[in-house]
Amino acid sequence: MANQPPEPLDFEANERRINQRNLDAVADEIANREERLAVRIRHFAGQFGLPEDDFWDDLEANPRGPLAATLAKEARRQNIHEQAAAEYVRRLAHVAGFRKLPSMGPNALYVTGDGQIVTGGDLGQAPKPSKSIDFQWRTGHINCYAAQKYTREGGGNQDNQFIELETLLANFLPRRNNNVALFILVDGPYYDQARLGQLRGLVRLQAPFSYVTSVNDLSAILQEIVAA
């Protein structure tokens, strides 16, 4: 049983849990008339010319209602999907030395156009060749690097992120060192069969390998790496 993966990661359920927790926090703020909430109410009251007491009356009458929900932190703005994926991967069998990497700065990691993995410090002021890598770990003798995205629907920013993942895979193609693997971990309705096909058309099929997979399917790949 020790080698069994954790329960599948349900990104949507995780987001609902965190949103509920954030709404519970607002209910506590209402009960205590916390300053963070008072600042927001003063802002809205001033914006719309409404008495502050009207906000407090509505909130105290329904501290977990629609108005309270608009004042709660939104889970999707708290980087929760990357955090959840990081915790899931960290707990997998065959994952050692897991690190969640910085997204920018001298210690962030990037894949150059010739497949090398370099730090932001190495690049200095040069343009970044790819999006930064999100996670790093070891599986057997393989150094593993991963970029992770959970995306619901298309749009300008989401489509740009898709292009960034394509660039990562394309940059990794010329790599020759065999003790490295790159994982593109993608989940959510945005990644339909057509988009997954586009990404998988850019994977390396010989060592050093790259992979496009769901977070929940990662464990089986790691098992294959160890068994090879």
147-182 pLDDT, tens per residue?
999 998 777 788 999 999 999 999 999 998 889 999
Q: How far apart are CA 115 and CA 137, in angstroms?
A: 18
CATH number for region 79-227: 3.40.91
Percent of the chain with pLDDT over 90: 88
Q: How far from chain centre, in Å, is Cα 166?
A: 17
Q: Check residue 167 and give its pLDDT.
A: 97
23-75, pLDDT tens digit by residue? 999 999 999 999 999 999 999 999 999 999 999 999 999 999 999 999 998 87
Question: What confidence category does residue 143 fall into, taking pLDDT thresholds of 50, 70 and 90?
Answer: very high
Q: How confident is the model at residue 121 (pLDDT cuts 50, 70, 90)?
A: very high
SS3 category, 71: helix
Q: Is the pLDDT of residue 85 over 50?
A: yes
Q: Which of 24-38, 66-80, 84-98, 209-223 has the lowest mean pLDDT?
A: 66-80
Q: What is the mean pLDDT of residues 84-92?
A: 96
Compute the residue count for the chain: 228
Instruction: Give me the pLDDT at residue 75, please.
Output: 76
Residue ranges, CATH 3.40.91, the chain: 79-227
Higher pLDDT, 2 or 23: 23
Helix residue spans in the chain (DSSP H): 11-32, 35-48, 52-61, 66-71, 80-90, 120-123, 156-172, 193-200, 218-227
Q: What is the pTM of this model?
A: 0.87
Average pLDDT over residues 218-222: 96
Peptide bond between residue 208 and the one before it cis (omega within 30 degrees of 0): yes
**For 132-156, what is the mean pLDDT?**
93
Can you read off the two tokens belonging to residue 162?
């898709």
Helix, strand, coil % over all residues of the chain, rounded to 5: 45, 15, 35
CA gap 195, 176 in Å, rounded: 27
Tell me what pLDDT residue 3 has: 60
Token pair of 184 as six digits = 């593109």
Handedness of CA 81, 82, 86, 87 (dihedral sign): negative
List b or e across 137-173, with b for residues whose CB sees 16 or more CB atoms inside 10 angstroms.
Answer: bebeebbbbbbbbbbeeeeeeeeebbeebbbbbebbe
What's the count of helices (H) and strands (E) in the chain, helices before strands?
9, 7
* Phi, psi angles (nearest 5°) of residue 222: -65, -40
Q: What is the mean pLDDT of residues 79-84?
A: 92
